[in-house]
Chain A
Amino acid sequence: GAGVSQTPSNKVTEKGKYVELRCDPISGHTALYWYRQSLGQGPEFLIYFQGTGAADDSGLPNDRFFAVRPEGSVSTLKIQRTERGDSAVYLCASSPTAGGGDTQYFGPGTRLTVL
């Protein structure tokens, strides 16, 4: 079956612009996660959705970052007024539920470069 997909794979933008990153989880997975991975680091949690609602957004660095999942499937991470420090790989993951033993399956990521 299809895995987690993310588009675009690469995004180059200018400082101050708005960007949207899309994640299409594995069909039937109710839990969806966004992570940010900076060079040489492990993934850093941003936000978790259970169904349509953001159940934990404690990892969002500031109010320039926002994410939605309106129909409980596809999610969009939105970044306003991008800064050079936002440059990173943004990873999306999904799991069947959010249960303790549930494995998160990751997409290939979107590499965001802010010039």
Chain B
Amino acid sequence: AQKITQTQPGMFVQEKEAVTLDCTYDTSDPSYGLFWYKQPSSGEMIFLIYQGSYDQQNATEGRYSLNFQKARKSANLVISASQLGDSAMYFCAMREGLQGYQKVTFGTGTKLQVIP
């Protein structure tokens, strides 16, 4: 079974509007961390936001927020007030276990295009 599922291969959003990128995950470990990365056409993976499984509140970083619904095993990324520079690939990732080293597994990504 896929550990990380991103069901939207591509998304369009109008500039200045909000957009939600979906991510569901599969794990039986109660301790895990979820990450979102942005990958522009230049290729570099840019860390956006992190949510730990025991965090009580949804993570926020500027215009990025993570809609964490533990029971549904979803960790959707919300980008508010989209900008043209937000056009990129977005990857959801998960690390199972919070102590010591654990592998990080990435989803297949969502390509976001912001329309002027």
Contact = CB atoms under 8 A, between A and B. Distances in A.
Contacts of B103: 45, 48, 56, 58-59
A43 B45 contact: yes
A106 B44 contact: yes
Given A89-B43, A93-B45, A106-B37, A100 B104 contact: no
28 contacts: A33-B104, A40-B108, A41-B108, A41-B109, A42-B93, A42-B107, A45-B104, A48-B101, A55-B101, A58-B103, A89-B43, A93-B45, A98-B101, A99-B98, A100-B33, A100-B52, A100-B95, A100-B100, A101-B98, A103-B35, A103-B50, A104-B104, A106-B37, A106-B47, A107-B44, A108-B43, A109-B44, A111-B43
A55 B101 CA distance: 9
Contacts of A99: 98-100
B91 interface: yes
Interface of A: 31, 33, 40-45, 48, 50, 55-56, 58-59, 89, 91, 93, 98-101, 103-109, 111
Nearest to A99: B100
Nearest to B46: A106
Interface in B39-57: 42-47, 50, 52
Contacts, number: 68
Contacts of B95: 100
B105 A100 contact: no
Contacts of A56: 101, 103
B58 interface: no
A21 B103 CA distance: 22
A6 to B, nearest CB: 10
B44 A108 contact: yes
B115 to A, nearest CB: 22
Contacts of A44: 106
Nearest to A107: B44
Nearest to B111: A40
Contacts of A48: 101, 103
Nearest to A50: B101
Contacts of B109: 40-42
Interface in B77-105: 91, 93, 95, 97-105
